[in-house]
Chains A and B, each alone.
Chain A
């Protein structure tokens, strides 16, 4: 079994995150990049399968600028066997469709049984790229699942939608995306960190994928028209309860026609 885990490096959600006001692109200089938490959970799903099935190979795949290699190193130290870094100046600032095209091309360079991604990133929150990858590769997609169970020829899970929970199944090879309900990821241990240095990281450029940068400019694409930072919210009235705060709050709500 070979499992490829898609990893996205994102700005840490515990810090202030910024956009470049001219381009609308992420301002990467303002925050530390980390592996998106849901991707760590996806990696955990793959590693748990590997723990109980000898001979399983887990590969972390990420597209991103130079610094993305740190995220891949962490994935290796957690237990992934190898990593692929999709790195090319012509990938920078690409929209979801272009990103999915490059990732699909990278996946075509290698054989695999299962692709595991996160259901949505904490920065873009589009929840779209894995579904696009599945469609481009004509593979079944089980999106937003938890309780993932990987079998030798199929994968199952529980998909919680607005109106209920679905039990879903797909034959392998397939693409799945996991949610926050998946188990929390393990921490890298000392041995993992030592061995990570010796594990292979392959870097792929667009040329390696036979993708022509001119395809991007010719392709349909999303274009940012304007970027506006909202003014930060101002703190309002703050009182210390001296025994009547509940009544005062009721008056505040009534005055605002909120009762």
Chain B
């Protein structure tokens, strides 16, 4: 079986990112998964953990502690691993880090970028990646000709887990030139939320301008917590200052594909729909019966969010009490 390289991202705290499991699982369906990472500190247990996620090999690019270079170590580690393992594909997550590292590797290897894949498979000898375009309006399959396929993969769309193995390790000391690189001078870790992650949540409750104020937006959060859902928002709600921009769903925010998407006081501009219309079930509550969100809703309620949602919350609570 051919080797499939997986770029493993580490958090600012040094933990393996959630995408690693998804990517290694995908890699195991295509060939032999090889995890590639770059770090100054080899945390004990990291190799075992990657093996438990399915990595047959771990290629560990070791860097100096200072200066901390921005992504240059990851690109160099991938480049070294490409030469060592002669892979038939490279997978990276479609995150900020993953996309930039993948793009730089494409330029360095004269490879081929297949971006934002929601599925990857072999069709005979060639690899085929599926990409969802214009908010799910089109599904486009592409392949790479004449060069190494380097694929960025959307998180939260893949399921399954690779079988656990004991990984082989290669430690490679990376020689880096700080001149041509950005430098990380400091970092602050994001405050961990007790709510599910918006990108990968099974349920999302979003609020729009119809929520009226930052104080009223708490109702969106209350329903989200009752449903164990992530909190999202329309751009209008973000621009109005009701909620942080990281919650923005849509063309220029996060794209989500949950089992359930509930839109509260969101009119449903085309840019918002581009980020959520691939949800399995869509519910919309809006006082404007002509709001375009109703065109994509499986269940639409024309009514006052502040009357319907409290009633919904108490109905859900009494159901869960009844069943327990």
Contacts and interface: CB of A to CB of B under 8 A. Distances in A.
B partners with A = yes
Q: Tell me which of A16, A221, A252 has the highest count of chain B C-beta atoms within 10 A of its own C-beta.
A: A221
Contact of B304 (A123, A159, A241): A241
Contacts of B157: none
A233 B277 contact: yes
A222 B148 CA distance: 10
A123 to B, nearest CB: 8
Nearest to B149: A222
Contacts of B11: 162-164
Describe B's contact surface by its main secondary structure: mixed
Given A135-B103, A143-B96, A258-B203, A126 B116 contact: yes
Nearest to B293: A235
A239 B302 contact: yes
Contacts of B113: 95-97, 126, 128, 222
Nearest to A176: B182
Interface in A107-157: 119-120, 122-132, 134-136, 138-144, 156
A197 interface: no
Q: Tell me which of B70, B134, B289 has the highest count of chain A C-beta atoms within 10 A of its own C-beta.
A: B134
A241 to B, nearest CB: 3
B154 to A, nearest CB: 10
Contact of B104 (A17, A134, A144, A247): A134
Nearest to A128: B103
A190 interface: no
Interface in B275-324: 277, 281-283, 285, 289, 294-304, 307-316, 319-320
B194 interface: no
B308 A163 contact: no
A259 B319 CA distance: 9
Q: Tell me which of B15, B182, B245, B295 has the highest count of chain A C-beta atoms within 10 A of its own C-beta.
A: B182
A181 B245 contact: yes
Contacts of A171: 179
Contacts of A136: 107
Describe A's contact surface by its main secondary structure: mixed
B133 interface: yes
Interface string A18-40: 11000010000000000001100
Nearest to B128: A225
Contacts of B152: 126, 128
Q: Tell me which of B75, B100, B180 has the highest count of chain A C-beta atoms within 10 A of its own C-beta.
A: B100
Contact of B146 (A17, A144, A220, A259): A220
Contacts of B97: 161
A240 to B, nearest CB: 5
Nearest to B13: A163
A160 B146 CA distance: 35
Interface string B239-254: 0000001100001100
B80 interface: no
Contacts of A140: 70, 180-182
Nearest to B246: A160
A120 B190 CA distance: 23
Contacts of A159: 70, 96
Interface residues of B, number: 98
A163 B182 contact: no
B70 to A, nearest CB: 6
B147 A220 contact: yes
A141 B105 CA distance: 13
A246 B312 contact: yes
Contacts of B297: 235-236, 238
A223 B142 contact: yes
A218 B17 CA distance: 37
B296 A239 contact: no
Contact of A225 (B95, B142, B246): B142
B300 A222 contact: no
A100 interface: yes
B138 A236 contact: no
Contact of A128 (B12, B106, B181): B106
Contact of A162 (B95, B143, B203): B95
> Which 3 A-B pairs have CB atoms at the shortest separation, nearest pair first?
A220-B147, A246-B311, A241-B303
5 contacts: A126-B152, A128-B113, A162-B95, A164-B12, A237-B300
Given A15-B270, A144-B96, 7 more contacts: A13-B270, A168-B183, A220-B144, A238-B299, A238-B302, A239-B301, A249-B283
Interface of A: 13-19, 24, 37-38, 95-97, 100, 119-120, 122-132, 134-136, 138-144, 156, 159-171, 174, 180-181, 218-230, 233, 235-241, 244-250, 252-254, 256, 258-259
